[in-house]
A and B are shown apart, each in its own frame.
Chain A
């Protein structure tokens, strides 16, 4: 079963704009991770945020976590055509040794 839900399911923007993707989850977590997947490839880890953190940055990526609302957001600033991919959030459920993924957001950056 899927724990997280990403919103929107698909997003298309112009190169240079910012892209924001949201993730909601259902149960208490230890940490939340974001992954990226190019077509036909495996997933690549982007960033991990712990349950006691509220915001984290990595290059053009900014992730926020609101445990009271059980939600997270991924912001990609100054988007590039190469950012075109699917983005997934994954939660590490408390008491379980596995990552559970959401359905993903398909991001298209138009040149």
Chain B
């Protein structure tokens, strides 16, 4: 079956621009997570959705970052006024529910801010 799909796979943008990163989770998965991974580091938690609501957004670095999941399926991570420090791979993952369920990851979007 289809796994977690992330688009685009690569995004190059200029400093100060706005970007949107999309995540299509596995059908039926109620939990959706966004992580950010820098080179040589582990994934860093950004935000977690249970259904349509953001249950935990404690990992968002600042108010330039925002994520939505309006119908409880597809999610969009939005970054305003991008900075070079935002360059990283943004990973999305979904799971059947929270807690003990393993996460299923997409291949990520590599964001480069020039």
Binary per-residue interface labels of chain B (76-114) against chain A in the complex, 1 for a CB within 8 Å, 0 otherwise: 000000000000000101000011101111111000000
Q: Is A69 an interface residue (CB 8 A)?
A: no
Shortest distance from the beta carbon of A53 to any chain B beta carbon, whole Å: 12
Number of interface residues of B (CB under 8 A): 26
Number of interface residues of A (CB under 8 A): 26
Separation of A35 and B103 alpha carbons in the complex (Å):
9
List residues of chain B with CB within 8 A of the CB of A104.
41-42
List residues of chain A with CB within 8 A of the CB of B41.
103-104
Separation of A98 and B104 alpha carbons in the complex (Å):
13
Q: Is B75 an interface residue (CB 8 A)?
A: no
Q: Which residues of B line the A interface, CB within 8 A?
A: 4, 31, 33, 35, 41-45, 48, 50, 55-56, 59, 91, 93, 98-100, 102-108
Q: Which residues of A line the B interface, CB within 8 A?
A: 2, 4, 30-31, 33, 35, 40-45, 48, 50, 88, 90, 92, 96-104
